Amino acid sequence: MFVTYIRGVIRVMILFLFGSTGEIITEKSGHLNMGTPGIMCMGATGAVVGGVIYLKAIVDPTTANGFLAIIIPMLFCLLFAGLTGLLYCFLVNTLQCNQNVTGLTITTFGAGVFPFVSNMIGSDGLSILSSSFYIRIFPKAFCEANWFTQIFLSHGFLVYLAIIIAVVALLILKKTRVGLSLRAVGESPATADASGIDVSKYKYIATIIGSCISGLGGLYYLMVMNNGALEYNIESFGWLAVALVIFSLWNPGIAIAGSFVFALFYQLPKFISSSGAAAQIISLIPYFVTIVVLIVVSLFNKRETQPPASLGVNYFREDR
Amino acid sequence: MKKDRERIIRISRRTNLKWWQKILIKAIFVLVAFLMCGVISSLVSPGSFFDFYEYMFNGTFYNTKIFVNLLWQAGLLFVIAIALTPAFKMKFWNIGAEGQCLMGGLGALIGLKFIAPFVPNIIALCIEFLLAAIFACSWAVIPAIFKAYFNTNETLFTLMMNYIAMGIVAACVVAWSTSGSSVLGVVNNVNHEGWLPFVESFGNSYIFNILIIIGASIVIFLYLGFSQHGYELQVVGGSRNTAKYLGINVKSVIIRTMLLSGLICSVAGFLMVVGASHSINETLVNGRGFTAILVSWLGEFNVPTMAIYSFLVSFVSIGSSNAAAWIGYSSTVSNVLTGLFFLLIISSTFFVNFRVHIKLPKRKKNEETAISSKEGA
């Protein structure tokens, strides 16, 4: 029972992790991207489009090739999410539009596009494709050896990919010159510019990469969490992922632990099998926890725990 | 090489645009947005370009009842945008209108369900509004207190409060629904105790609601433009230090302004419950709290401009979902088109605030360009 609960927690946790890692990278460049829920929706849209294109090409879904079934939806997902990130960055960085407004619009837009496109092109056969996504990467006998392997080693590859991406992002941000420059851009773009860093380039690349990672969350939601069935609840998960960025103090390493904690609370009503009003109240715990973290962070005014100093502020070179 | 490329397109800020030029730029973008709606419709369902506009107008202007419904939806969006505006002028990014309205609605519903059947109608309405105001204001003032005293990030605080409000409403609905259906039916359906009066000749029309909204908007218009409070919150938004030197109590201004924000949100919640649905569920506000943020921002906190944008957005949203129903594709197209509409309006702000200089590189006269660029700087 407990093992099933933790496995369920890890299932949900990965969605939060994709979303928040992507958002952390974007925010480190000084872009407060409120469009992350919309970008996750766009990622899911890409996955539907890619999946349907592949299904049309092979005619009989049962003959699907495992590798192609994964890679084609994934590429389309990255393409859609990346293009949405590019649109956001173009509006905010080149056209100097307000970040909050642009982000919220992208969320509205993405949340509309996902059901619209997937209703239009249909989703028959996606559930067959989705089975490729949760093929375990370790052999079956090994996975079910004991409780440890059952919990941690019996997942599809996207689960491990999310954790690897978070760790790599942490290392790049903290240990490399690129990471240092990116942090400089987020803290003070004018200073970074003066020291010879191409601020625009960093903002564009960070936003697009961040959006691609968030977009993978959409793919994960569609293919792994819902087994290819169309559910349109990504938006609220996306907002929790944005909240998780605060919870993890802009650190992808803490985000791994943070997403686990969030998922733990998220799955709690199922575990203690409560229903009705009590279940509704328990499912609010992640939001309460985020608020408490926000307050605690503001009480202890440490430099390391603060958001990037120029977060949400556009940088216009000629205003220097 | 690289410097040459940069010089072809150069962007500079501009402040000398006349009012009619601003309106012209925005009007062009609104027209482009409307054109895009038809184009997208004909992409989805070929040949439906003109049908789309016909159904769009039918869904919004066909008869008095339909038009009053459009006005009511636009008015609702408008009143929420109005509620957000004082906070935004103070640079307090309140994105919690969704939750504040929902809590207002919950307060009104408690009055409607538990008090209205036992008291005269006018007292019931007063109690309902009082409860709505208490609920919505407390939802607005909690983040404000933390912002004022600890400088807690209000954007995410108010966002989280939205979801908590939704959860509380969902829990209440589950607790109150009798048959375990987790749907709360229309409250006081038989004798209409505690309902806002409605004009029979328009069917179940919203004329009374619209009048209340117009009243609220006039109050806010005067408050922002012609009162001491309106001036103070603008100074706090501009610079907290300046406000301190002027002897303004920044903390009390923040809390006071958010109380006002919550109060207007409670009007929206009250009208939605007592004047329209007479019931509640967690999607009562249905994203209007977020759309209103965009309306308030793009209307540049100007009350008449916000009214125009609310009307246009509601027209696109209601009209396109009607067109989708008639032409025969998913009604979620209204979200797509609303998003597109906003994206285009957002892009228009660039052309209002900036000027694009296009200058082809002159290869031979290197010295001349160097001098002119010095002059430009």
pLDDT of residue A287: 87
CATH 3.40.50 correct for B64-318: no
* Percent helix, strand and coil across chain B, each to the nearest 5: 75, 5, 20
pLDDT of residue B136: 96
pLDDT of residue A273: 67
User: Is residue B97 a contact partner of residue B241, using CB atoms and an 8 Å limit?
Assistant: no
Q: Is A299 in the B-facing interface, judged by CB distances under 8 Å?
A: yes
Chain B CB contacts of A111 under 8 Å are 335
Q: How many helices (H) and strands (E) does chain A have?
A: 15, 0
Beta carbons of B339 and A108 less than 8 Å apart: yes
Chain A CB contacts of B297 under 8 Å are 98, 100-101
Q: Is A318 in the B-facing interface, judged by CB distances under 8 Å?
A: yes
pLDDT of residue B1: 43
Biggest alpha carbon–alpha carbon distance for chain A = 63
Beta carbons of A281 and B342 less than 8 Å apart: no
Pairing of strands B9-13, B354-358: antiparallel
| DSSP three-state, residue A9 | helix
Residues within 8 A of A (CB atoms), B 145-184 only:
146, 150-153, 155-157, 159-161, 163-164, 167-168, 170-172, 174-175, 182
Residues within 8 A of B (CB atoms), A 58-97 only:
87, 91, 95-97
Number of C-beta neighbours around residue B245 at 10 A: 10
pLDDT of residue A284: 85
Residue whose pair of structure tokens reads 């309205």 in the numeric block: B101
User: Is residue B260 a contact partner of residue B137, using CB atoms and an 8 Å limit?
Assistant: no
**Residue of B332, B351, B352 to mutate for A, most A C-beta atoms under 10 A:** B332
CA distance B217 to B305: 12
Q: What residues does CATH 1.10.3470 cover in chain B?
A: 64-318
Residues B80, B29, A86, A29: is their CA dihedral positive or negative? negative
Per residue, the 3-state secondary structure of A91-134, as one string, reads HHHHCCCCHHHHHHHHHHHHHHHHHHHHHHHCCCCHHHHHCCCC
Q: Which of A95, A110, A246 sits opposite B350 (nearest CB)?
A: A95
Query: What is the pLDDT tens value at each position of chain A, 320 positions in all?
Result: 788 888 889 989 999 999 999 999 999 999 988 899 999 999 999 999 999 999 888 877 777 777 888 899 999 999 999 999 999 999 999 888 888 889 999 998 998 899 888 888 877 778 888 888 877 777 777 777 778 887 788 788 889 999 999 999 999 999 999 999 999 999 999 999 999 999 999 999 999 999 999 999 999 999 888 887 887 788 888 888 988 888 888 899 999 999 998 898 888 877 776 667 777 888 888 888 888 988 888 887 777 777 788 888 888 877 76
Q: Is A314 in the B-facing interface, judged by CB distances under 8 Å?
A: no
**Residue of B336, B347, B354, B373 to mutate for A, most A C-beta atoms under 10 A:** B336
pLDDT of residue B84: 94
CA dist B2 → A90, B5, B279, B361, B362 (Å): 20, 5, 63, 12, 14
What tokens appear for B277 in the block?
């649905």
State which residues of chain B have pLDDT below 70.
1-7, 179-181, 199-205, 361-377
pLDDT of residue B366: 52
User: Is residue B96 a contact partner of residue B84, using CB atoms and an 8 Å limit?
Assistant: no
Phi, psi angle pair for B177, to nearest 5°: -70, 130
Q: How many helices (H) and strands (E) does chain B have?
A: 15, 2
CATH number given to A2-315: 1.10.3470
Chain B CB contacts of A236 under 8 Å are 163
Q: How far is A33 from chain B (nearest CA, A)?
A: 12
Q: How far is B220 from chain A (nearest CA, A)?
A: 22
pLDDT of residue B229: 92
Residues 6+ away with beta carbon under 8 Å from B362: B368, B369
CA distance B233 to B239: 10
Q: Which of A98, A106, A298 sits opposite B153 (nearest CB)?
A: A298
Q: Is B332 in the A-facing interface, judged by CB distances under 8 Å?
A: yes
* Percent helix, strand and coil across chain A, each to the nearest 5: 75, 0, 25
